[in-house]
Amino acid sequence: MHYLAEGLRLPTNALDYTILVLYFAVVLGVGFAARASVKTSLDFFLSGRSLPAWVTGLAFVAANLGALEILGMAANGAQYGVYTVHWYWVGAIPAMVFLGLVMMPFYYGSKVRSVPEFLLHRYGPSSHLLSSIIFSIASVLIAGVNLYAMAIVVEALLGWPQWVAIVVAGLFVLAYITLGGLSSAIYNEVLQFFVILAALIPLTVVGLRRIGGFGGLKDALTDSHGPHFVSAWGGTGIGSSNPLGANWLTIVLGLGFCLSFGYWTTNFAEVQRALSAKNLSAAQRTPLIAAFPKMFIPLIVVVPGLIALVMRPDIGSKTSGLQYNDAIPLLMSELLPNGVLGLAVTGLLAAFMAGMAANVSSFNTVFTNDIWRAYVRKGRPDGYYLLTGRVVTAIGVLAGMGTAFIASSFSNIMNYLQTLFSFFNVPLFCVFIIGMFWKRATAAAGFWGLLCGTVAAMINYFWLYLGDVIAIPSDQGANFVSAIVAFVVGGVVMVVLTPFTKPKPVESLAGLVYGTTAPGVAEPPAPGDEAWYRRPAVLGWGALILAALCYIPFSL
Amino acid sequence: MSEEYEYRHEVEDLQQKSATAARLFDVRRIIGGLFAIYGIIVLIAGFTASDADVKKASGININLWTGACMLAVGLLFLLWMKLRPLSAPGAEPKPEPSGPGDGPGAGEPGGREPGSGAG
């Protein structure tokens, strides 16, 4: 993203600032109030595995609905048109349903506290340590990039100096997570989810009214960009060219399968929300409940991007001084009067803070449990790890703030690093899925599959694509192809290595592999869980069918 | 075998001692309260909206509509909380009495689980 145009300063007044200050006060209040509930390290890292499904489900969707996601997907809408819906209906819903129906029983049922910890028990220390370290570094880095992006937006919209925005937002996140742990992160995410809806729905309604509704939007875009721009699959035949630089095969396999399953099923910042649910049924329902709002988010994110393109056809060109990322701030300044404007600013800031908080709250868990406790200081009393978690939170936020300051001078490097880390989730998913369904898969195969898959994706992206050895028309298209490469290489390495290496004893895999059950009593289902609308299968298949139906208006 | 599953016993132990279920306040109070207050503020801005405000928002008094909707959503959350108060899961009582002040609504006996169905 990066530099927002000078002319986007919002005409905010005291009313808008009242709304903003009120929000910051409530965020901090949630932290103080949640503090009383933190007695053990499990309370701090996983809310004591006790939250209801609707809370964890909304937090699951909100953890992903950071401001970078909102601004970025609106930008994709303005740049690529209706193709952007693939990131939701192919690129999120199937993976969320798979996580809920297939993978969650292994994650939640095995009582692991993090995604890397599952690797430890299923494979062994080498893959565990590798993924814990990479996850920790990536989390801090992404938190920093998020902070930096926020500082730029706040500077453009409100005129605050960048360092003020970085320090204020960083310290608020530090305070409320150190006090209340995951519970206050999750509660603030749920709150942020509703505030962002309250910000984006009026924006979309006013914008649609301005350009003559959905009909006016479609006509204007068809006139200016052709019919493919308002269709989901038009122009995605293999060999035909489109702005996305991808065909239906790379969209379905690369985005829909490899990238999306990698992100949604192994990214601990997401999975952590489900692991904090109060029982297995609630954990399974977490991503399934999240799938329903996720499906309709394009309506209030991608549609504003398209509206911005109709209102300012020169957006994204050099002459206008406006970038695609400015789509939503542009609509805010052109359409919203004071009052609702304050809500929109609050929603955007809330989304930035929640996105960062999701990274920090997953980082402190992985660093404390999977690195410090597993390899550095074993066997201390629980209170020691609770304190460590709080200290690590503070260190993580401060490191993120430091990263944000560094990012302000090296933003290109940061972009590369983010791409680099994004390649790590895909082989991770490959290793998980093989490990969950194939008892024989060995520890060595897991480690080398992870490493080789990641390296293969990087070679494909940085050498073959950026070095122009193979021709892929766009960054997004190259991302999709790299993801497929990572998955295939990871899988092949595992299958080839497994017969030559020593498998784990079968009895140590109980509850971690398909067809085995963990010893001990299964948790009894909570009263009310048998209601038909709470059955994971009904919710999951319902979400898939609804997502498929969403495509119909854009495919005819 | 025992060593492999040690971590599971540890998690079970911690879950027994966990205070979150008993002492964490109800998030619906926060959402309901904040939305009700925001609703009122924005509603007032809607009643006092100038012609320029309405013109900017394509002829809709968007503050009025947004304020009314937010107030309604806030009150619905508060109503939901009244009708289905939180109940601490599990039959066993927690060792500590609930904290002073900051755990309203938590730990009340009876009542069903707060609606954990689809949102």
What pLDDT digit, counting tens, does each position of A454-466 carry?
A: 888 888 888 877 7
The residue with greater pLDDT, A481 or A523, is A481
CB contact under 8 A, A190 and B27: yes
pLDDT at site A26: 95
Domains of chain A in start order, with CATH, are 6-416+533-554 (1.20.1730.10), 423-504 (no CATH)
pLDDT at site A411: 63
CB contact under 8 A, B117 and A111: no
- In this predicted model, what pLDDT tens digit does every residue of A321-336 receive, in sequence order? 788 888 999 999 889 9
Q: How near does any CA of chain B get to the CA of A461, in Å?
A: 39
Q: Give the Cα separation of B119 and B117 in Å (integer).
A: 6
What mean pLDDT is predicted for residues A219-245? 80
Contacts of B48 (CB under 8 A, 6+ apart): none
If we measure between CA atoms, which residue out of A284, A132, A312 comes closest to residue A328? A312
Nearest-by-Cβ selection for B38 from A55, A335, A343: A343
B96 φ/ψ angles, rounded to the nearest 5 degrees: -100, 145
Q: Is any Cβ of chain B less than 8 angstroms from the Cβ of A422?
A: no
Mean pLDDT of chain A: 87
Q: Would the pLDDT of B31 be above 90?
A: yes
Closest residue on chain A to B53 (Cα) = A337
Q: Would the pLDDT of B96 be above 60?
A: no
CB contact under 8 A, A36 and B19: yes
Per DSSP, A506 falls in state G
Q: How near does any CA of chain A get to the CA of B25, in Å?
A: 7
- In this predicted model, what pLDDT tens digit does every residue of A466-515 receive, in sequence order? 777 777 777 777 888 888 889 999 999 999 999 988 888 887 887 888 87
Q: How confident is the model at residue A414 (pLDDT cuts 50, 70, 90)?
A: low
Give A 515-544 residues with CB within 8 A of chain B.
518-520, 526-529, 531, 533-534, 539
Q: How confident is the model at residue A254 (pLDDT cuts 50, 70, 90)?
A: confident
Q: How near does any CA of chain A get to the CA of B108, in Å?
A: 15
- In this predicted model, what pLDDT tens digit does every residue of A25-53 receive, in sequence order? 999 999 999 998 898 999 999 998 999 99
Q: How near does any CA of chain B get to the CA of A7, in Å?
A: 17
Q: Is any Cβ of chain A less than 8 angstroms from the Cβ of B72?
A: no
Q: Is any Cβ of chain A less than 8 angstroms from the Cβ of B80?
A: no
Contacts of A332 (CB under 8 A, 6+ apart): A10, A157, A203, A341, A344, A345
pLDDT at site B106: 37
If we measure between CA atoms, which residue out of A423, A549, A477 comes closest to residue A238? A477
Q: Would the pLDDT of A197 be above 90?
A: yes
Q: Would the pLDDT of B91 be above 80?
A: no
Q: How confident is the model at residue B94 (pLDDT cuts 50, 70, 90)?
A: very low
Closest residue on chain B to A200 (Cα) = B66
Contacts of A190 (CB under 8 A, 6+ apart): A55, A58, A59, A62, B27, B31
A vs B, Cβ pairs < 8 A, gives 200
Q: How confident is the model at residue A1 (pLDDT cuts 50, 70, 90)?
A: very low
Q: Would the pLDDT of B113 be above 50?
A: no
CB contact under 8 A, B66 and A198: yes
User: What is the residue-wise DSSP string for A415-484?
Assistant: HHHHHHHHTTHHHHHHHHHHHHH-TT--HHHHHHHHHHHHHHHHIIIIIIITTTSS--SSHHHHHHHHHH
What mean pLDDT is predicted for residues B26-55? 91
pLDDT at site B43: 94
What mean pLDDT is predicted for residues A298-305? 93
Counting every residue written for chain A, the total comes to 556
Q: Which two tokens stand for residue B10?
A: 């540890």
Q: How confident is the model at residue B95 (pLDDT cuts 50, 70, 90)?
A: very low
- In this predicted model, what pLDDT tens digit does every residue of A64-113 receive, in sequence order? 888 888 888 898 888 888 888 988 999 899 999 999 999 998 899 888 99
Q: What is the ipTM metric for this complex?
A: 0.88
Nearest-by-Cβ selection for B15 from A42, A191, A533: A42
Closest residue on chain B to A33 (Cα) = B102
CB contact under 8 A, B102 and A33: yes
pTM: 0.89
The residue with greater pLDDT, A512 or A18, is A18
The residue with greater pLDDT, B7 or A367, is A367
Q: Is any Cβ of chain B less than 8 angstroms from the Cβ of A55?
A: yes
Give A 190-219 residues with CB within 8 A of chain B.
190-191, 194-195, 198, 201-202, 205-207, 209-210
- Angle at the Cα of A553 (from A548 to A555), degrees rounded to 5? 75
Per DSSP, A509 falls in state G
Q: Which of A72-81, A282-291, A529-538 has the lowest mean pLDDT?
A: A529-538
The residue with greater pLDDT, A153 or A556, is A153
The residue with greater pLDDT, A341 or A516, is A341
In the three-class reduction of DSSP (H, G, I as helix; E, B as strand; rest coil), residue B91 is classed as coil
**Among A24, A30, A54, the residue to mutate for chain B (most B Cβ within 10 A):** A54
Q: Is any Cβ of chain A less than 8 angstroms from the Cβ of B75?
A: no
Contacts of A101 (CB under 8 A, 6+ apart): A284, A288, A536, A537, A540
Q: Any alpha helices (H) in A212-279, and if so which ranges?
A: 213-225, 248-249, 260-266, 268-275
Q: Would the pLDDT of A544 be above 90?
A: yes
What mean pLDDT is predicted for residues A368-374? 93
**Among A32, A200, A206, the residue to mutate for chain B (most B Cβ within 10 A):** A206
pLDDT at site A530: 77
CB contact under 8 A, A527 and B38: no
